Homo-oligomer: A and B are copies of this chain.
Amino acid sequence: MQLTPAPVTKLIEEFSRLPGIGPKTASRLTFYLLRNPADRAKVLAEALQQLHAKVTFCSQCFNITENNPCAVCSNEHRDPSIICVVEEPLDVIAIERTRDYHGLYHVLHGVIAPVEGIGPEDLRIAELLQRVRASDKVREVIIATNPNLEGEATAMYIARQFQGSKVKTTRLARGLPVGGDLEYADEITLSRALSGRSEIS
């Protein structure tokens, strides 16, 4: 006997396809929306439809934006001599929150991950090289990919592309997180923190 109506099963299925949402959470969300007035589901549906319709990518840095070029690329007060390369649009937001960076960005939209079949050609790496070559202003490329295996490999790959050019490539410092506890730091972080130690001035 089909006890769960098809539209309910369908929505549970669709929620389950999202990352980090299992069948239990998916059915909890579906029944939550079912209990609530139809407006709730409708507003969410509309927000989903607006997502791709109104959001585009900046043709210069490939960050998400409503207007092309994006707010950073079109801001004359930003320093065009530095480009910070990140994996995701969320990373741009994280770095902007520090209020310590005034250069431009370049969003790769992923990292090189051979296991998942993602190679350099699937990322915005060619566009980065093209962008740096076309400009005579870029002095430094900060490669701010995540400090994990794929992030490091991607950083190495990009750095290699700039070998022999006048552009300096740098990487964010690795070390103990502020507020962290030395006792609980893993060996790799601790050894990076040691080798990257700086003189107390």
Contact = CB atoms under 8 A, between A and B. Distances in A.
Interface in A1-57: 1-8, 10-11, 13-15, 17-21, 25, 27-35, 38, 40-55
Contacts of A153: none
B66 A31 contact: no
Contacts of A2: 71
A78 to B, nearest CB: 10
A31 B93 contact: no
Contact of A32 (B4, B14, B18): B18
Interface in A42-98: 42-55, 63-66, 71-72, 75, 88-90, 92-93, 96
B28 A20 contact: yes
Interface string A132-175: 00000000000000000000000000000000000000000000
A140 to B, nearest CB: 22
Contact of A5 (B13, B31, B32, B66): B66
A109 interface: yes
Copies in the complex: 2
Nearest to A27: B90
A3 B93 contact: yes
A19 B24 CA distance: 13
B88 A31 contact: yes
Contacts of A96: 1, 3
A11 B72 contact: no
Contact of A50 (B7, B15, B28, B49): B7
13 contacts: A4-B89, A5-B66, A6-B66, A7-B55, A14-B44, A19-B32, A20-B28, A31-B90, A33-B51, A38-B53, A45-B45, A45-B46, A45-B49
The 4 closest A-B pairs by CB, nearest first: A38-B52, A45-B48, A45-B45, A5-B66
